[in-house]
Amino acid sequence: MLCKFAPQIRGDVEFLKTEVKVLRDNVENLESHAKLMDDSIKDIHNTLLPDIEEKISTEEKERLKLEYWGRKWNLVVSGVRGTPLAEMPKATDLYVRHFFEKTLEIPKERIEKMLFQAVHRLPGKEGDKEKRKIIVRFNSLIDRDDVLAAGMKLQRGSGYSVVPDVPPSVAKLRFNLLNERRALSSSEQRKVHLVYIKEYPFVMLKKKRSS
């Protein structure tokens, strides 16, 4: 009886073997394709993505450099008392010039010759309206640099400050660097100071030259 079905069984077995081989070949092809895809993804990750990331980083640095350059005529003055009510730019101008003369000790005749493109207070906390920060945009970089140099001589704890106006990301870095400096011992603090540079990241801590 079995002999009667043997040819059919052999045929079915051969058919199944063929099907298994086809399936095995398909699996191998899929695995090979998957490996090629994986290699392609790795190539993209290893070559194209770094290029794109570098390009984005470069463009971001260039954008930041343009913004930094556009602010270089500005100084941010802190601690100058004004009025708690809405303050007109003309009044702010007078407060700033008075501060330059009386606190920074810049000669009055020099201050009278200084021209400002704009002077205005920045928004501040509700309880600190009278001493909101002031942005001064100078016509002359010479005047700006002279005022900044005078501001650098202010004693710590004076309640006043004069700093360059910088983009928010640079201001954050400046804040972190100053905190790093404050964490040093008094003797080490005297050896380093914050400097502004023309290229990214635009601010850094630098060792002072030994005299």
Residue 78 pairs in a beta bridge with: 161
Average of pLDDT values for 199-207?
A: 89
Average of pLDDT values for 54-62?
A: 79
Instruction: Tell me which residue has tokens 């004693």.
Output: 155
Confidence of residue 2 (pLDDT cuts 50, 70, 90): very low
Q: Which residues of 27-47 are buried (b: 16+ CB within 10 A; e: fewer)?
A: eeeeeeeeeeeeeeeeeeeee
Average of pLDDT values for 15-28?
A: 68
Which phi and psi (to 5°) does residue 137 adopt? Answer: -105, 115
The pLDDT of residue 11 is above 70: no
The pLDDT of residue 19 is above 70: no
**119: alpha, beta or left? (left if phi > 0; alpha if psi -120 to 50):** beta
Using CA of residue 74, residue 76, residue 147, residue 118, what is the dihedral sign? positive
Average of pLDDT values for 130-155?
A: 94
Residue 80 near residue 131, CB atoms below 8 Å: yes
